[in-house]
Amino acid sequence: MAVCQLDRQTAVPAWAMTGEFWSLTRTADELSVVCTEQGPLDFGMVGVLAGLTAALAEAGISIFAVSTYDTDYLLVKSGDAAKAVKVLRAAGYVVNGA
């Protein structure tokens, strides 16, 4: 996954809207682009995001969360990725594609 900060006046780049998931946010200060692909989570599942973030927080791993109706995306710094996968697996979560 990637989180990109662009100048607020930048036109939305074509690459930002490719793939199965992308999110654009423009504020007075910036254009943020989040892009990658993930699997959907059932909206009826309760506490999934809280469980994931709690496990990562206890391990001292900072996250950036983006949610859609179907899915919650958790982004971690690339230097924390391997540790995050290990922590989540130890907490009983299945992590694919890691």
Q: What is the DSSP letter of 4?
A: E
Would you say the C-alpha torsion 89, 3, 72, 28 has a positive or negative sign?
Answer: positive
pLDDT given at position 46 = 63
32 pLDDT more than 80: yes
pLDDT for 81 equals 93
- Look up residue 17 and give its two tokens: 């809207």
Q: CA 22, CA 88: separation in Å to the nearest integer?
A: 24
For 36, 43, 87, the CA distances from 20, given in Å and listed in that order, are 7, 18, 26
Residue 65, CA distances (Å) to 9, 10, 50, 77 in order: 24, 23, 11, 12
pLDDT tens digit string along 37-90?
Answer: 565 555 565 677 888 899 999 999 999 988 865 677 889 999 999 999 999 989
pLDDT of residue 14: 79
